[in-house]
Chains A and B, each alone.
Chain A
C-alpha cells in the first residue's frame, strides 16, 4: 500500500502538478487565440508576442515596485504589477486593431491575408520587445519560492518520495480558475457576453439585431489582452522570462485551440490541458513509477520513456496533425463561441 502511495506521489510530483500549471498557461493562451478566431475571424500569429509584451510590461513594473520596496511579502511582486501589464497589453491590442486589423476587417479580406498581417504585427511587437529589454533571460519571481518543499513532505508523511509545490504553480492554477470562471460567466450570463456569442455565430444576423460590432470588437480585445498578459506573466513566473520562448509557445497554443475545437472557449481550455499532459506524459520516464508498483523481479531496466524529452514540442504538433486528420473541427466542434 505504501508503495502504491509512493508511486502516486511520484506521478503527482513529476507529471500532474507540472502538467496542470503548464496546461493552465496553454489554456489561457489558447482561449485568447480562440476569441480572436471566433470574433475577428483570423489565426493570430502575433498572440505569442502579445503574451510576451504583457509579461515584459509586468516585469518593468515589478522592477519599479521592487526599487520602491513595495512588495507582497511571501507572494511575488509581479502580482501587483500585473494590472499595469494587462492595461498595456489591452492598449497594444486595441492599437494594433485600430491601425492594422480594422482595415482588413472592413475590406472583408480572406483569413489568410489577416494571418499574414498578424505576422507583420508579430515582427513589430517582437522588435519593440527586443529593443526595450533585449533577449536575455530574466528571472523576476520573488517572495517565497516553495509552498511545500519535497523534504517537508517526506518528513510530514513519512513516505520515500517528496512532493514539491512551487508557489508559482499554485498561483498559476488559482488565477486560471478565477479567470476561466469569470470568462465563462461573462459569456453565458451577461448581455454583452451573449451579444458576443451571437456575433461569432452569425455576424449578419447579429448586426441586424442591433449589436454594435465596434463594441464587440472592443470587448474582445479587452478579454484577449487580459488573457494574453496573464498567460504570458504566469509562464514567465513559472519558467523565467525569455522573449524568444514566446514565439515557440505560439505553436502549442494553436495546437491547443485547434485540438479543442477552434472558436470554442471550453474546447480551448480542454485542448490546453490535453496538449500539456500529452507533452509531459509522453516524454516522462516512468521508471520510478513502475519501481514502486511492480514486484522487485519485474522492475524495468530501461527508463520506460516513450520519447526522449527532446521531442517535447513535436508531441503537440503530432497530436495536432492527428486531430486535424480524424476530426478537423476539434474535440468540441468549434467555430462558434
Chain B
C-alpha cells in the first residue's frame, strides 16, 4: 500500500505531535496517550469496516468492547475452584435445560401446524421452562456469589496468558454481534442505530449485574500482564545494565559514587515504567498493523468491491445476485469482532475490568466521531481519526486551562467566573468533540482522509 502526499502529511503531523508532548510533558505521558490512541484506532477500524465498507451502522460499540473486556477476565483470571465446586453443577443443569428449552421450542414451531396453537404452546413452554431454569440458576449463582465475596464471588477464568484473550474477545464480540445481527439487521439505518445502542446497554447491564460471571460492579482487579512488571525489571541485571549503558555519558559526569548510585536508581525506576509502556505500545502496534493490512487487503479484494456495490446501490447489487442480508451480517460480525479485540486490549492495558465504566458517550459516540472525522471507508483515515480525536480528548484539558488563564488574566484571580470556568475544564472536551463533529460533517463530510475509490 502506497501513501500519497496527503496521507504522509497526516502521519508526520501525528508523529510530530507525540514528539512535542514527549518533550513538553514527558515521554511517559506521550506513551500513555499513544497506547490509548492505538487502541482507539483499532476500535475505529472495526466500526469503519461495517460503516465505511458496507454502510451498516453499529452503535453497539460499547457492548462489544465490554464483551472483549469480559474475555480478558475469563481467559486470564485464575479459576476459583470453590465457586465451581458449589455452583458448577447447578449452572450445568440450567445450561442443559436451556438447550432443552430451545430444542423444544424449535420442534413446536416445526411440528404444530395451526398458528394460534403454536403461539399458545410456545408461550406455555417458555414460561414454565424459564421458571424451572431460574430455580436452578438462581440457586447456583447465589451460592457462587457467596464464596468469599470480598475477594472472589465469581467463577474466575481459565488462567491462560492474557494475550490469548485478544482473539477470544474478538470471538465473544463477534458471537454477540451475530445474535444482534440476526435479529436487527433488516431494520432501516436509523432504527438500527437505536436498536444497537439499546442492545449494547443491555449487554453492559448484564455484565454489571451478573456477578457470578463478571463480578459485576465489584470489578475485577489485578489482571495478568503480557509484559514484565516494573518491580521485576528493577531487580533484573540486564535491565540495570541497559539503563547504565544508555545513560553512561550522564552518569560519568558525576564523580561522587553515592550520588551516582542515587541517580542510577531514579533512572531505573523511571525507565522501568517507560519500558513497560513501550512494550505495550509495541504489542498494540503490531496488532494494529496486522488488522490494518488485512482490512486493506479485504477492501481491494473482490469481496470489498462487492461490499461497496451493496453500500452504494443495494437494489442493483441484489439484482446482480448478491445476498445482501448475509453480507450485511458477515460484515457486522467482522466489525464487531475487531471492536471486541480492542476491548480486550483496553482491559489488558488497564489491568482491571470495571463494567460500570462502560458509558455510551465515551465508548460509542466518541468512537463514531473518530470514524467520521478520520474518513469513513478509508482505513488509514480511521487510524488517523482514532489518533487525532484521542489526542485531542486528552490534550484539550491542559490547553483549555492555558486559554482560560490567558483570557481571564485581566480579571482578579479570585473572580467567580474565572474559578467556575477553571472548575469546568474537563467538560470543554465535549464541546470540542461536538464542534469538531459538526464542522467536519458540514465542510468535509467525507472525513479528513476520504475514501479512495479505485476504478479497476
Residue positions of A touching B, CB distance < 8 A = 42-43, 100, 103, 110-113, 115-117, 119-128, 130-131, 134, 247, 251, 254-255, 258, 308, 310-311, 313-314, 316-318, 320-321, 324-325, 328
Contact = CB atoms under 8 A, between A and B. Distances in A.
B201 A324 contact: no
Contacts of A124: 430-431, 434-435, 438
Across the A-B interface, the 6 shortest Cβ-Cβ residue pairs: A123-B434, A317-B198, A127-B431, A124-B434, A127-B430, A130-B427
B75 interface: no
B190 A42 contact: yes
Contacts, number: 119
Nearest to A113: B441
A310 B428 contact: no
Contacts of B226: none
Interface string B365-377: 1001100100000
Interface in B168-223: 183-184, 187-191, 193-195, 197-199, 201-202, 205-206, 208-209
Which size bracket describes the interface of B in this complex?
A: 35 or more
Chain B interface, >50% SS class: helix
A74 B363 CA distance: 44
B70 interface: no
Given A134-B424, A251-B198, A120 B434 contact: yes
27 contacts: A42-B190, A43-B190, A100-B438, A100-B442, A111-B188, A111-B189, A111-B190, A112-B57, A115-B190, A119-B368, A120-B437, A120-B441, A121-B438, A123-B369, A123-B437, A124-B434, A126-B361, A134-B424, A247-B361, A251-B194, A258-B191, A258-B194, A317-B195, A317-B201, A320-B198, A321-B183, A324-B191
A324 B424 contact: no
B423 interface: yes
Interface of B: 57, 183-184, 187-191, 193-195, 197-199, 201-202, 205-206, 208-209, 360-361, 365, 368-369, 372, 421, 423-424, 427-435, 437-438, 441-442, 445
Nearest to B130: A306
Dominant SS among interface residues on chain A: helix
Given A43-B190, A134-B424, A254-B194, A116 B201 contact: no
A114 B313 CA distance: 20
Contact of B430 (A117, A130, A258, A313): A130
Contact of A321 (B199, B424, B438): B199
B95 to A, nearest CB: 20
Given A119-B369, A317-B199, 16 more contacts: A43-B193, A111-B190, A113-B441, A115-B190, A116-B441, A117-B438, A120-B434, A120-B435, A121-B434, A127-B427, A127-B434, A130-B424, A131-B427, A251-B194, A251-B201, A328-B187
